């Protein structure tokens, strides 16, 4: 049954707007008609739309459907958007793959989202370490182009998590520019690939836990964007 909400002070609207900064795997905002239409109905918690026909389309498959005013939809939107549709979705459980991308202090939401999208394309899961942007922020979710809904994504403390991965047979590889690093290569084993923050690279604590370190041979520039570097490394490890 479609319900009407016209006030930005409605308790549900206030609660939902808080997801712009406090999203979790249980509830986060998803914007964009295509991404929402591509999301399985069982993963959609509730729908908000200014369009009656859109609400009717979801009424038989989503338990909570709300027709709202333009001001209410603007309250929920992370940025100015022409979309008439916003959803609150939940993260489905995904089995952890045998290749992981560990993000050590990646603060830029756009980079985090791009890495999640690229990791999903290459069959990697993503672990967001301390200091990394929340993967369920709207800007991150938008940058994943919806991939966050289907990818393996978790948040964890890398210093305590990496030893667990090693005990489970993972080879832990860091990206670094030092005398011990070698050119990136294909790996057949369980692999956890670490990307450090944009400014300083891996933290000393995380770097000390690496089994080996890799670098990307480049010319004429000092470094690459973290998301670009992650994509190159994941491709090289796979091939």
Write down the domain spans for the chain: 2-89, 99-238
Q: How far apart are CA 194 and CA 150, in angstroms?
A: 21
**C-alpha pair distances (Å), 214 with each of 25, 53, 182, 183, 199:** 32, 53, 5, 6, 17
Given this model, what pLDDT does residue 81 score? Answer: 59
The whole-number pLDDT of residue 204 equals: 92
pLDDT recorded at residue 230: 93
Contact present, 100 and 127 (Cβ < 8 Å):
yes
pTM for this entry: 0.90
The class that CATH gives domain 99-238 is alpha beta
pLDDT for position 71: 93
Domains 2-89 and 99-238 agree in fold:
no
pLDDT at 26: 95
- Mean pLDDT for back-to-back runs of 10 residues, the chain (239 residues): 95 96 94 89 95 95 96 82 87 94 95 97 96 95 92 97 96 77 72 87 92 80 84 88
Would you say how long the chain is, in residues?
A: 239
Nearest CA to 132 out of 163, 106, 101, 161 is that of 106
Looking at domain 2-89, which of 3.30.530.20, 3.30.43.10, 3.30.1330.30, 3.40.50.720 is its CATH number? Answer: 3.30.1330.30
- What stretch of H or E contains 31? strand 28-31
């Amino acid at each position: 049954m479609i319900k009407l909400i016209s006030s930005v002070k409605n308790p549900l609207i206030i609660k939902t707007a808080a997801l712009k900064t406090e999203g979790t795997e249980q509830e986060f905002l998803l914007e964009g008609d295509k991404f929402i239409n591509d999301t399985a109905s069982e993963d959609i918690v509730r729908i908000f739309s200014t369009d009656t026909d859109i609400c009717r389309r979801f009424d038989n498959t989503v338990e909570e459907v709300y027709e709202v005013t333009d001001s209410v939809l603007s309250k929920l939107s992370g940025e100015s958007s022409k979309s008439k549709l916003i959803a609150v979705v939940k993260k489905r459980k995904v089995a952890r793959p045998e290749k992981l991308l560990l993000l050590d202090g990646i603060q830029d939401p756009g980079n985090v989202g791009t890495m999640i999208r690229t990791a999903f394309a290459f069959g990697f899961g993503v672990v967001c370490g301390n200091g990394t942007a929340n993967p369920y922020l709207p800007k991150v979710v938008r940058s994943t182009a919806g991939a966050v809904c289907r990818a393996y994504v978790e948040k964890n403390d890398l210093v305590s998590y990496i030893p667990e991965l090693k005990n489970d047979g993972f080879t832990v590889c860091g990206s670094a520019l030092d005398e011990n690093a070698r050119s990136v290569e294909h790996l057949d084993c369980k692999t956890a690939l670490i990307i450090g923050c944009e400014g300083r690279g891996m933290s000393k604590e995380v770097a000390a836990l690496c089994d080996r370190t890799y670098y990307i041979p480049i010319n004429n520039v000092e470094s690459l964007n973290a998301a670009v570097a992650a994509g190159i490394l994941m491709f090289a490890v796979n091939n």
